């Protein structure tokens, strides 16, 4: 592929983005401020702040936490966890939340406020909301749990689907870079009752099963990938990852 701009100074200036690429200039609209809604929710996704709070300039603008969750398909839940841009975290059980629990505008996007629990829970710059539901649709060695519960426990972040990308300029020089996605989830092996299993039997929502050896699950991680509970096998391609998992049994 031949680069249209040989000089770095000529690449991705304001003019190239707005004119060459046809981008829209809308000053003051914060398109990229999003909150990740994940866990035991029907549609794990990134929600734009301007969709959550469309009238951010008006005094008193807010949405109750219950209304926000209901808009995203969550009627009943056990707890909700907020994380922030600067590493803050708070988890609150639903029994301690009421109509004073609200999401309000903040410089970095969204702030959580409430009068029903201690003020230290009122976090600013929220970037993630993890919901733990009432149901436990996932079974691991006889213990029932859910992806929401796993995500508020010990998790790891790993890169997936990485690849080397190249760009050739008009005098034949080639640059290289590495691109990938990342996923966060719970390591499988610590969740199993057998510390060193021979392998596992995995059942999906359709009742289909697949067996994996101890070597195949050595670095396996349970996470949400494309809205499905997935067992990530870092050493294998995505097509080999079990999805829509409902049960894992070690042997």
Write down all domains in the chain, each with its CATH number in brackets. Answer: 34-132 (3.90.420.10), 138-250 (3.90.420.10)
Q: What pLDDT is recorded for position 51? A: 74
Nearest-angstrom CA–CA distance, 146 and 132: 8
Joined tokens for residue 242: 């079990």
Are 245 and 202 contacting, i.e. CB atoms less than 8 angstroms apart?
yes
Residue 4 has pLDDT above 70, yes or no: no
This prediction's pTM: 0.82
- Distance of alpha carbon 191 from alpha carbon 150, whole angstroms: 10
Pick the more confident residue, 25 or 95.
Answer: 95
Closest CA to 138 of 203, 67, 71, 221: 203
By percentage, how much of the chain surpasses pLDDT 90?
71
**Is pLDDT at 32 greater than 70 in this prediction?**
no
Longest CA–CA span in the chain (Å) reads: 66
Instruction: Report CA-CA distances (Å) from 102 to 55, 62, 68, 81, 185.
Output: 15, 6, 9, 14, 28
Q: Work out the mean pLDDT of the chain and round it to a whole number.
A: 87
Report pLDDT for 17. 47
160 has a pLDDT exceeding 60: yes
Query: Residue 35: exposed, middle, or buried by beta-carbon count in 10 A (0-12, 13-18, 19+)?
Result: buried
User: Is residue 114 predicted with pLDDT exceeding 80?
Assistant: yes
In the chain, alpha helices (H): 14-15, 49-52, 65-71, 147-151
- Band of residue 59 on the pLDDT scale cut at 50, 70, 90: low
Coil vs helix vs strand at 37: strand
Residue 110 clears pLDDT 60, i.e. is over it: yes
Over 70: is that where the pLDDT of 7 sits? no
Model confidence at 92: pLDDT above 50: yes
pLDDT at 149: 98
How many Å apart are CA 231 and CA 127, to the nearest integer? 25
Report CA-CA distances (Å) from 9 to 6, 15, 18, 193: 9, 12, 16, 57
172: pLDDT strictly greater than 60: yes
193 vs 54, which has greater pLDDT? 193
Structure confidence at residue 100 (pLDDT): 94
Query: What is the reported pLDDT for 55?
Result: 63
Pick 104 or 6 by higher pLDDT: 104
**What is the per-residue pLDDT for 13?**
53
Looking at the chain, which runs of residues are DSSP E strands?
34-39, 45-48, 63-64, 79-84, 89-93, 102-106, 109-113, 126-132, 138-140, 143-145, 156-168, 174-187, 199-204, 209-213, 221-225, 228-232, 245-250
Contact 111, 122 (CB under 8 A): yes
pLDDT tier at 3, thresholds 50, 70, 90: very low
Of the pLDDT bands very low, low, confident and very high (cuts 50, 70, 90), residue 58 is: low
């Amino acid at each position: 592929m031949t680069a249209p701009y040989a000089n770095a100074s000529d690449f991705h200036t304001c003019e190239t983005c707005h004119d060459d690429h046809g981008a829209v200039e809308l000053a003051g609209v914060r398109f990229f401020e999003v909150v990740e809604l994940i866990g035991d929710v029907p549609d794990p996704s990134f929600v734009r702040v301007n969709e959550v709070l469309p009238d951010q300039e008006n005094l008193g603008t807010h949405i109750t936490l219950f209304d926000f969750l209901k808009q995203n398909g969550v009627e009943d839940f056990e707890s909700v966890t907020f994380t922030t841009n600067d590493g803050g975290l708070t988890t609150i059980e639903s029994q301690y939340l009421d109509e004073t629990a609200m999401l309000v505008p903040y410089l970095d996007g969204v702030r959580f406020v409430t009068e029903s629990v201690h003020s230290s829970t009122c976090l600013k710059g929220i970037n993630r909301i993890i919901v733990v539901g009432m149901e436990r649709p996932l079974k691991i060695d006889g213990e029932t749990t859910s992806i929401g519960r796993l995500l508020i426990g010990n998790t790891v972040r790993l890169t997936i689907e990485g690849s080397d990308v190249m760009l050739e300029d008009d005098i034949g020089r080639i640059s290289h870079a590495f691109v990938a996605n990342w996923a966060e989830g719970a390591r499988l092996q610590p969740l199993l009752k057998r510390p060193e299993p021979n392998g596992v039997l995995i059942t999906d929502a359709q009742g289909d099963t697949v067996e994996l050896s101890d070597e195949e699950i050595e670095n396996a991680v349970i996470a949400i990938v494309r809205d499905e509970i997935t067992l990530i096998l870092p050493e294998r391609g995505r097509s080999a990852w079990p999805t829509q998992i409902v049960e894992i049994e070690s042997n």
